[in-house]
Chain A
Amino acid sequence: MTPNIAPAEPRQTPGLAPIPPVATRPIVEVKSVSKTYAGGVEALSGISLDFPEGRLTTLLGPSGCGKTTLLKIIAGLIPASGGQVFVDGREVKGPGPERAFVFQDFALMPWASVIRNVAFGLELRGIAHGEREAIAERHIARVGLKGFERKYPHELSGGMRQRVGLARALAVDAKVVLMDEPFSAVDEQTRRKFQEELLELVANEGKSFIFVTHSIEEAVYVSDRIALLSRRPSRVSAIIEPKIVRGGDPEKIRRDSAYLDVVEDIWQQLKHYLD
């Protein structure tokens, strides 16, 4: 094990490289959450996990291990069977204004234009038409879709639709952005571009991001912290903090030996879950 990899409970582990002070406060705390679905499928069994504020934390684990389940429990979209989730110190009872979700399948309304989709969260909060369109316009421009405000989802490519979903989540100005495999439906070039943009968002927005991905490289590249989940019923098998030095040439980072080592380490751990 490299010094980057620590057992599940980082706070109980002396010798762990300390997280910078700004991140010490957990914005989301998951406390022994378990979930058994109606059919008897036990998806999560007593997961405990902290998400540092202002950082991007990734949930990484084998397919079907319960990443989406955990994310939706944090979002308040499905109830946990046991345990508690705290966001910003308050217990989660349902969806809340301090959390916004980016859906894997975009979940755009096909009958609504881009601007209406982006402004939807604001519309639901009763913000006046002019004001919410102005806010939405800003976020549309921000995700690089200026000029597409009056288009409809079916006129956009998959990558553009995903940007609409992201703009919608940003428009409600939530503290915590939950993203379920947001880049899985786009090609590799777009994906890398999105990763850069995501890093920029994390650096500039002061928001906390919880990110789900299948890709080890992506997780290591974008995350401040990675929670490695075991197979169903899942627990946290390791917490990894890649500590990539940002701001350099992306190509160089991807060839950097520290980056490659972390990728390799995670691969070694996940390999056990292959049959």
Chain B
Amino acid sequence: MQISDLASALPARREPPASYWRDALIHPLVLRLVSFAAVLALWEYAGRIPLSPAFPTFLETMGGLGAIIADGTLYKAFLITLHPLVIGLAVSVLLGVALGVLMGLHEPSEWLIAPVFVIAQAAPLAALIPILTFAYGIGLTAKIMTVCIMAMPVIVLNTLGAVRNTPKSLLEMSRSFLASRSQSIRLVILPAASPMIFAGLRLGCAAAFIGVILAELLITPTGIGDVISYNQSVADYPKMYAAILAIIVFSVLFIELLERIELTLFRPESRA
């Protein structure tokens, strides 16, 4: 029996090649890689035109990245940047979620507190940084404050909306089965709100990264902000872009991690 006979004897086993390739091509991972590759290729091309002498190609930037990793600059810079970022983010998440939940459960406190955050979310907060510097000096506190004012509004307002949007029928259900107020909050309102709260946390984290880099560029150059501005001043553009790229990648990975944590800890049904 020949291979071709075998193949024709089992036609059902054989994937029609055309659709196999089409399926492989529209696979999410493949599409994402294509999207990345396209952007990087465009970057490489724009760098080679060159668009501007201050705009390195992708490959030059990779070289710069290798250099700042090898001499330990990047690692040290990250440790410094993470300091206000982690503190600011922790404060924003804990305080932001707490305030959002409080306002969601208790209307008068919403009237009292929410306007501040509504305005803060609409305002160009970077403009406040000089005032923060004036009030808190140029140290860590001002940077933490910058992270907080960037990250907190979206966290607070999303949490408020999430709590408010608890399905009425679930609240009625829990009441009819004799839930106390605290049981309703713990077992119904918070679980129902968690997807939207986490959406707010992801946006808040992204805003926190913006905040910390702004602070490091505008208040005093430290950490990644220092690597960026120093290399800019000495016209070492590959290193400057490498630092920018590094913080962007780090921020994306961090937010991705947050999503994984949400799915594994809080959304059992999404894995079913």
Contact = CB atoms under 8 A, between A and B. Distances in A.
A101 B176 contact: yes
B176 A111 contact: no
A146 interface: no
Contacts, number: 67
A172 B268 contact: no
Contacts of B234: none
Given A97-B178, A109-B188, A121-B178, A103 B173 contact: yes
A111 B268 contact: yes
Contacts of B174: 120, 124
A181 interface: no
Interface in B164-187: 167, 169-170, 172-180, 183, 187
Contact of B269 (A99, A125, A154, A172): A154
Nearest to B173: A107
A152 B173 contact: no
Contact of A77 (B170, B176, B267): B176
B130 interface: no
B181 to A, nearest CB: 12
Main secondary structure of the interface of B (DSSP, over half): helix
Contacts of B161: none
B269 A152 contact: yes
B272 interface: yes
A100 B174 CA distance: 11
Interface in B135-178: 167, 169-170, 172-178
B49 to A, nearest CB: 51
Contacts of B266: 111
B191 interface: yes
B13 to A, nearest CB: 30
Contact of B175 (A95, A97, A112, A153): A95
A107 B191 CA distance: 14
A111 B187 CA distance: 10
Main secondary structure of the interface of A (DSSP, over half): loop
A155 to B, nearest CB: 6
A152 B267 CA distance: 11
Interface in A203-255: none
Given A121-B178, A124-B183, A151-B272, A111 B191 contact: yes
A166 interface: no
A113 B268 contact: yes
A81 B267 CA distance: 41
Contacts of B177: 95, 100-101, 120-121, 124, 168, 172
Closest 10 CB pairs of A and B: A107-B173, A152-B269, A121-B177, A101-B176, A107-B169, A152-B272, A124-B179, A95-B176, A111-B191, A124-B177
9 contacts: A100-B177, A101-B177, A103-B173, A109-B188, A124-B180, A152-B269, A153-B269, A154-B272, A155-B272
Interface of B: 167, 169-170, 172-180, 183, 187-188, 191-192, 194, 266-269, 272
Interface of A: 72, 75-77, 95-97, 99-101, 103, 105, 107, 109-113, 120-121, 123-125, 151-155, 168, 172
